Amino acid sequence: MSAPGAAVDADAMRRAIELAARGLFTTDPNPRVGCVILRDGRVVGEGWHRRAGEPHAEVLALQAAGAAARGATAVVTLEPCCHTGRTPPCADALIAAGIARVVCASLDPNPRVAGGGIARLRAAGIEVVVGPGAREARGLNPGFFARFERGRPHVRLKLAASLDARTAYADRRRAWITGEAARADVQAWRARSGAVLTGAGTVRSDDPRLDVRLAYGDPVRQPLRIVLDPNASCAPAARVFAGGDALLFVAPEALATARAAHAGSPGVRVEALPRAAGGLDLGAALARLAALEVNELWVECGPRLAAAWIEDELVDELIVYYAPRLLGADAPPLAALSAGYAAAPTCFEFLDARFFGGDLRVMLTARREESVCSPES
């Protein structure tokens, strides 16, 4: 059987990426992966990974292909695994099925795989092509790659603001700035995230739930809810601590007090982080979340904590919802950045802008290269 051409591979990879995206809200902490089995240029099997502990995309695609898998090509969005975790190695399944050729978008950054799956396939005489669709496939799993390559989750900072970049009313009354469509979009971002984080000030002033209340996934997977509260100032009865997995980070000297306060709070863990200027060490928080297998972190917080994330250069994506109103100079700002921040190396590049109802969502990515950030560039 002749190998499919590059165009056929590309079409199959696009389909595999579409399949992988079906796991956007369910696979965490595993990556979103899709697989297509081709025989003589025709699709004979498809599969996508649904959730941790269930069969991987390759296994499901092989099951769908049946005997037609022998001598076929497997097109998969991530390197087939070669270790036994919650499920057996996918590389072994491909070998046993008689696959003749594998096209994968990128290597798996997990050190338990990291080229080992490809090596096992090649040792079995299977032709392996790496690279087609790599950018798109990685784009589905930014947090999975960040966790293994950078030792921390992929961080998205969300802000809602008026046209004059104000995030609340000047009188601090509790009221939405954005409309229902924008808030529904926020729900989708929460649903795909491994954790949602806020600060003590937001908990005290707004008493948010930070959960997912729309139907994303079956069943809905609730993200870990995290509160940064150096002095253990938040009431244990706050809604963020109710009905689900929550993690409270406090300063070391407040650990005993916080643990005593939450002794009767099921599902609430209390841990200490080192102090940093104005609060807790955000880098240490990210390292801890990576250890807890959090891939994507969604941050919703007030202007001071938002500024800390930006000034510490820990924001990967900035997502701002602009409402068509003006709130005035006395209203809280978008981020309470320090006076010297303008000289910092981090700036942002526009990724996307679209309307949700009457509000405009702007997405930006962090850029730290001087050539990009320079006004002369």
162 with 227, same domain? yes
Write the DSSP assignment of 70-81 as a string of letters: TT-EEEESSPPP
Helix (H, G, I), strand (E, B) or coil at 34: strand
121 with 262, same domain? no
Specify the pLDDT at position 200: 96
91 with 176, same domain? no
Specify the pLDDT at position 343: 55
73 with 156, same domain? no
Q: pLDDT tens across 253-281, in order? A: 999 999 999 998 889 999 999 999 889 99
Shortest CA distance to 93 belongs to which of 79, 105, 82? 82
- Position 369 confidence tier, pLDDT thresholds 50, 70, 90: low
Would strands 34-39 and 127-130 be described as parallel, antiparallel, or unpaired? unpaired
Output 176 or 21, whichever has higher pLDDT: 21
| 14 assigned to some structural domain | yes
| 104 assigned to some structural domain | yes
Q: Answer whether 196's CB lies under 8 Å from 210's CB.
A: yes
Would residue 58 show up in a list of annotated catalytic residues for this protein? Answer: yes
- Return phi, psi of residue 68, to 5°: -70, -10
| Mutual angle of helices 57-65 and 6-20, in 10-degree steps | 120
Tokens of 24: 């956007």
| 286 assigned to some structural domain | yes
Choosing from 90, 105, 140, the residue where a domain stops is 140
Specify the pLDDT at position 177: 87
240 with 349, same domain? yes
Amino acid at 289: L
| 1 assigned to some structural domain | no
Output 25 or 217, whichever has higher pLDDT: 25
Range of the domain at 23: 6-140
Q: Average pLDDT, stretch 53-63?
A: 94
Q: Of all residues in the chain, what percent carry a pLDDT higher than 70? A: 93
Specify the pLDDT at position 315: 96
- Position 3 confidence tier, pLDDT thresholds 50, 70, 90: very low
Q: How many distinct structural domains can be found in the chain?
A: 2
Catalytic residue among 58, 296, 300, 311: 58
Task: Please state, rounded to an integer, the average pLDDT across all residues of the chain.
Answer: 90
Specify the pLDDT at position 342: 63
Choosing from 99, 120, 140, the residue where a domain stops is 140
Specify the pLDDT at position 173: 73
207 with 356, same domain? yes
| 339 assigned to some structural domain | yes
Q: What is the CA radius of gyration of the chain?
A: 23
- Position 330 confidence tier, pLDDT thresholds 50, 70, 90: confident
Going by C-beta distance under 8 Å and a sequence separation of 6 or more, which residues neighbour residue 305?
Answer: 198, 199, 201, 202, 228, 279, 299
Tokens of 351: 């990724």
Helix (H, G, I), strand (E, B) or coil at 151: coil
128 with 154, same domain? no
97 with 180, same domain? no
Q: Where are the beta strands (DSSP E) in the chain?
A: 34-39, 42-48, 73-76, 101-104, 127-130, 154-161, 195-199, 224-228, 246-250, 268-272, 275-276, 279-280, 296-300, 317-322, 347-356, 359-367
177 with 314, same domain? yes
- Position 375 confidence tier, pLDDT thresholds 50, 70, 90: very low
191 with 267, same domain? yes
Choosing from 123, 140, 157, the residue where a domain stops is 140
Q: For residue 344, is pLDDT > 90?
A: no
Specify the pLDDT at position 213: 86
Q: Residue 215 maps to which CATH number?
A: 3.40.430.10
Q: For residue 81, what are the CA distances in angstroms to 25, 128, 192?
A: 21, 14, 23
16 with 159, same domain? no
Least confident of 30-39, 129-138, 325-334: 325-334
Going by C-beta distance under 8 Å and a sequence separation of 6 or more, which residues neighbour residue 49?
Answer: 20, 23, 27, 30, 31, 32, 33, 34, 55, 56, 57, 60
Q: Residue 126 maps to which CATH number?
A: 3.40.140.10
235 with 338, same domain? yes
| 39 assigned to some structural domain | yes
- Position 218 confidence tier, pLDDT thresholds 50, 70, 90: low
| 274 assigned to some structural domain | yes
- Position 339 confidence tier, pLDDT thresholds 50, 70, 90: confident
Tokens of 148: 């293994």
